[in-house]
Structure 1
Amino acid sequence: MGSRVRRGAAGIGALTAIAVAVAAAAGAPGAEPGRASGAGAARASAGAPALTLPAPTGRYPVGTTALHLTDRHRSDPWVAGQRHRELMVSVRYPATRDAGRFPRAPQMTRAEAVGFDGLNTFADHVPAGKVAWGATLTHAHQGAPVARPAGRRLPVVLYSPGAGDPRALGSTLCDELASRGYAVVTVDHTYEAPAVQFPDGRVAHSVMRAELAKAQRTGRITELLEKVSAVRVADTRFVLDTLALTGRDAVLPPALRGALDLTAVGMFGQSAGGFTAAQTMHDDRRIRAAVNMDGVMGYTQRDDDPSHPSTVGRDGVDRPLLLMGMAGDDHHSVASWDAVWRHSAARGTWLRDLTLRGGRHASFTDAEALVPQIARQLGLSRKDVTEMIGTARPERAVAAERAYVTAFFDRWLRGRDRGNLLDGPSARHPEVRFVP
């Protein structure tokens, strides 16, 4: 979810989620002091009921496949001596009607769930070992046949998660876009995410605790934030390069080869993932439109601090950008958003700034659907729930996010206008405020 520091109080921010997510971690990778870890965490949560995610609303069932990608031109930036950067990504896509014959993909593998249990940013409210994170199923069917609407290639949307989060925590929105005819590519940023499992069983645990401690000791927090952003952008651009490979070098399964339209690429993300989407669009002309969901776009630990701007902050962008913020976050209150807004507007860029009334930072992740279920299971207070996902009705928040993100990509990747939803306030979604 990427917790951040906002305006001098405990709040939410993009890359400084690292500090909140891993500062307390100690002992074994992916564990916190005094908390269940490894097999112990898995056993402790084994009896907990499975959580469920909202079903997508598009016309297509959803298929998915996981890809293990290796960048042989880049050594790993976080682990010395590791010659190549390895990533796990998932591709979601519209599937044929018989997709139900194929098993539904878990939100996380067992090993990834154990890692998330130890380092997730619900930790202040949800004790480790109490939630069966590995039991949640997505609505995507593994290996289901690909549907190509009217024989056309599928526009592509990339997804980057919040700092310290797994790619799996955006499953609700990713499944939704796939059900509406998009190929959605989700990226785990290895050694930043709590745990990333590779096909051979290896698990790469987060190293952010050690990186943060070193940065604090040497007074180089800004440099750490810059490095995290640079690694994320490099990961994303490598994924785009790899999707385009053909012939013997192709990484996509045969059914998806030639099915993706890499001339129609958008990107979105939450928290640091939103910053990654905007920064990647700034750096790479292949990204035609981007959505930043509550992510600070500068190398700072305060929302209102304009120091240490990113290049997207200094230059703005010249392609469509949608900002979606929790209550209190907009281009008037978040310094880095103001910088991007001013410089982009000066270039005549299409911009929108939407606030989710009553929303919190995690409202733009699967937490919006999962936290109420966790609260009922564990007897959490209303205050606990509000601190995690705010006061917006979860089903209304999810519906609004689905509607506006889909409308944005429909307009800019497909040339379709979804009922003029992006042109002003809608009675269908009173939870969404257009920020002038």
Structure 2
Amino acid sequence: MNRRTLLSSGAGLAAALALPTAVPATAVPAAVPTAAEAGQEEPVRFQLPAPNGPYPIGTVALHLVDTARPDPWTPARPHRELMISIWYPARARPPRPTAPWMPPAAADRYLERLGLPPGRVRLGDTHGHEGAPVGGPPGPLPVVLHSPGADASRSFGTGIAEDLASHGFVVVTVDHTHDAAAVAFPGGRVETGPPGGIDDYAAALTVRTADIRFVLDRLAVLRAGGRPGVCRTPIPAGLRGALDLGRVGMLGHSLGGATTAATMLVDGRITAGASLDGGAAGPVVDAGLDRPFLVVDTPGKGGMENNPALRTFWSHLRGWRLHLTLRGAAHQSFGDDALILPLLAPLLGMSPSDLEDEVGTIPTQRTQAFQRAHPRAFFDLHLRGRGHLLDGPSPDFPEVDYAR
């Protein structure tokens, strides 16, 4: 049962909602009855673990409009609209509120599409302080783009984005509108994907590639002192000067990994790319790439061993390359899914075997350790020229297989 199945099914959820969860209740004043005392269940609460870098984090969400192309999924709309979030190291103790993990309007729609009633699940805040001034190491800083999997939103890459930002990177997470499950725009409008998710992956790959190239164009406008978006969101102090667009990496999960490879083929502005359990499709399979590329897969059906197109792509990589396999992991072991799915499983009627199919048997803390250490090591190496974690097998990560 994957996200596509979850979003296209709602049957049998009423009975599942009565199941208890392992999430503890939040303490409340004694005079206020808890939900359990009032005859209601405690909501399931999701909260990202704190990043482990030395810098606090700032974030800003921007609304972008590409006036050069209509929306390919809804041709009646004359322009392509995107939402992005920029994550960056901030000054110490920024006196700003933290951003929600997913904008409330999008979160409500996302949970509704899963068949969950209002208030049953609470998606917490991030560690990113909205609009905080840029801090961290002396800039400009390397930039990493993040593209999520199909039917996911940019929120599902927040854990990786926060960790990279806390170590001195600027990270840009992208919502691919009408491919993502739910995207909230300023003013409360929410755009969703089709019921059951997209099914034309070739078209999605083309759209996503154009999306990423447009985002890079707008980042260049921001760096040059212009206004990249259409709304009047203030640009955080220091952000323009923090962007080093000569050191740009890209990272994606699943279809986002394929998007990374496809975009690198047609856009030389991306210096290095990493794919978390993503395939390869389109011209890049046979053309290959001449820049660094990291392939991370799992032992399951989507891995190198069982994916001829991915093997062909790998054989045509002419630059630095590394293939890592995370033993015990499954397709949703990457990104924030690995943390959220175990919380939602009882509510969605997922059996233990269903959950194992999605997140594998590897302990969650090990997947989190992997996706904090290895993407950062890759971008440290190729955007900063430092680090040795990827030189070969590490005793700190015995579940990781290395191949070149």
TM-score norm. by structure 1 comes to 0.79
Aligned residue for 1:73? 68
Aligned in 2, Cα 1:433/1:135: closer, same or farther, shift over 3 Å?
same
How far apart are residue 379 of structure 1 and its match?
9.2
Shift of 1:371: 3.1
Q: How is 1:308-347 mapped onto 2 (pairs within 5 angstroms)?
A: 310-328=282-300, 329-344=302-317, 347=318
> Which residue number corresponds to residue 58 of structure 2?
63
CA shift, 1:370, in A, is 2.5
Higher mean Cα deviation, 168-177 or 330-339? 330-339
Choose the corresponding residue for 2:46, options 47, 51, 54: 51
Match of 1:421 among 378, 389, 393: 389
Please tell me whether residue 292 in structure 1 is matched to residue 275 in structure 2.
Answer: yes
What amino acid does structure 2 have at the position aligned with 1:147? Answer: G
Cα distance change of structure 1 residues 202 and 375 upon mapping to structure 2, 3 Å threshold:
closer
User: Percent identity over the alignment?
Assistant: 43
Structure 2 partner of 1:82: 77
Aligned pair partner of 1:386 in 344, 352, 356 = 356
Give unmatched runs, 5+ long, in structure 1: 4-16, 26-31, 37-44, 121-126, 213-223, 299-309
**3-state DSSP class of the match of 1:287?**
coil
Report the alpha carbon displacement of residue 295 of structure 1 after superposing the two structures with TM: 1.2
RMSD: 2.7
Instruction: Compute the displacement of 1:335 (Å).
Output: 1.1
State whether residues 89 and 186 of structure 1, in contact with CA within 8 Å, keep that contact through their aligned partners in structure 2.
yes
- Code of the residue aligned with 2:289 in structure 1: it is V
What is the match of residue 433 of structure 1?
A: 401
Whole-Å Cα distance in 2 between the matches of residues 427 and 65 of structure 1?
Answer: 38
Deviation for aligned residue 1:363: 0.3
Deviations 1:229-266 (A, max 9, x none): 00001001000000111344444715211210011000
In 2: Cα distance, 1:314 partner to 1:389 partner: 31
Q: Name the SS of the counterpart of 2:44 in structure 1.
A: coil
CA pair 72-208 structure 1, distance change in 2 beyond 3 A: farther
SS at structure 1 position matched to 2:396? coil
Aligned to 2:361, the other structure's residue is in SS state coil
Q: Distance in 1 between matches of 2:370 and 2:183?
A: 30
The residue that corresponds to 1:241 in the other structure is 217
Report SS of the residue matched to 1:401: helix
1:112 corresponds to 2:88? no
Compared CA separation, residues 205 and 34, structure 1 to 2 (3 A): farther
Deviations 1:46-101 (A, max 9, x none): 951321211101111111000000111111111122111110000000011112x3
Structure 2: unaligned runs, 5 residues or longer: 15-39
Structure-2 separation of matches of 1:75 and 1:161:
22
Would you say the 8 A contact 2:13–2:348 is kept in 1? no
Do 2:213 and 2:267's aligned partners in 1 also have CA atoms closer than 8 Å?
yes
Q: TM-score, normalised by structure 2?
A: 0.85
Contact 1:70-1:84 within 8 A present in 2 as well: yes
More helix, by proportion: 1
Please tell me whether the aligned partners of residues 292 and 322 of structure 1 are also in contact (alpha carbons under 8 angstroms).
yes
* AA in 1 matched with 2:280: M
How far 1:21 sits from its partner (Å)? 6.1
Change in CA separation of 1:406 and 1:211 when aligned onto 2, cut-off 3 Å: closer
Residues 96 and 366 from structure 1, CA distance in 2 versus in 1: closer, same or farther, beyond 3 angstroms?
A: same
Q: Secondary structure at the match of 1:98?
A: coil
Partners of 1:247 and 1:142 in 2: CA distance: 20
- Secondary structure at 1:392's aligned position in 2? coil
CA contact (8 A) 1:108 1:134 kept: no
- After TM superposition, the structure 1 stretch with the greater mean CA deviation from structure 2, 130-139 or 320-329, is 130-139
Q: Distance in 1 between matches of 2:97 and 2:66?
A: 30
For residue 389 of structure 1, report the CA deviation from its aligned partner. Answer: 0.8
**Cα displacement string for residues 314-362 of structure 1 (whole angstroms, at most 9, x for unaligned residues):** 1011101101112245433311211111111xx3x11111111100100
For the residue of structure 1 that corresponds to 2:259, the secondary structure is helix
Partner SS for 2:367: helix
Cα distance in 2 for residues equivalent to 1:34 and 1:381 = 13
- Residue 86 of structure 2 is matched in structure 1 by 91
Deviation of residue 386 (structure 1)? 1.5
Distance 1:184 1:83, change over 3 A: same
1:63–1:142 contact (8 Å) kept in structure 2: yes
* Distance in 2 between residues matched to 1:267 and 1:77, nearest whole Å: 23
Three-state SS of the structure 2 residue aligned to 1:403 is helix
CA 1:114–1:249: 2 relative to 1, 3 Å: closer
Determine the C-alpha separation between the residues in 2 that align with 1:81 and 1:87: 16
Q: CA deviation at 1:34?
A: 7.6
Query: CA contact under 8 A between 2:64 and 2:228: conserved in structure 1?
Result: no
Q: 1:208 to 1:265 in 2, by over 3 A?
A: farther
SS in structure 2 opposite 1:353?
Answer: strand
